[in-house]
Amino acid sequence: MGPAVQTPQRPASKLTPHASTPQQYLTFTLRGEVFAVAILNVKEIIEYGTVTEIPMMPGFIRGVINLRGSVVPVIDLSCRFGDHATEISRRTCIVIIELQEGDNRQDIGVMVDAVLEVLEIAPPEIEPTPSFGARIRTDFIQGMGKVNGKFVIILDVSCVLSIEEISMLAHVADTLPAEV
């Protein structure tokens, strides 16, 4: 694995912005579209490296990585959204997202084509989820951020990485040795 880009350690939170305070979002590309996730969910960004495949897993689970001794499942967002597998390039990254359910925390890596930047988007600039026209399930979308006259799809990570899947991924990580 290559060098890691650390983001400040902050607890994961629900994506509920205050009335007028701009929120920060990490933006990335996937299949030519720009997506964003709340920066509070992002633990770090790493260069794409060796991912160990796990047999008999859903197609969108690319495998697991060893992140400083911890086994972290890696999800291919392109496959998760019903498209083909992400093609690996020089800019392909794994964004480590920390999810919390009650007292349990789970780190999950998501493959993206390229990380762009961190943007501040004020709540008035976030439109509700469209009821049609999106190439991904509408329940995966938290909202549509307006940035410089274009839309950025803000993902609801708690839905994209649902509770049932988190449980399954946690079980996989617990049953594998840390030397993956």
Model pLDDT, residue 10: 35
Whole-prediction pTM: 0.77
Residues in the chain: 180
Tell me if 21 sits within 8 A of 15, measured CB to CB. Answer: no
Model pLDDT, residue 7: 43
pLDDT tens for the chain, residues 1 to 180:
455 544 443 333 334 444 568 899 999 999 889 999 999 999 999 999 889 998 877 788 899 999 999 999 999 998 888 888 888 999 999 999 998 777 778 899 999 999 999 999 999 999 888 776 667 788 888 999 999 889 999 999 887 887 566 556 556 655 666 555
Model pLDDT, residue 24: 95
Q: How far is residue 141's CA from residue 134's CA, in Å, rounded to a whole number?
A: 9
Model pLDDT, residue 175: 66
The DSSP line for 29-71 is EETTEEEEEEGGGEEEEEE----B--TT--TTEEEEEEETTEE
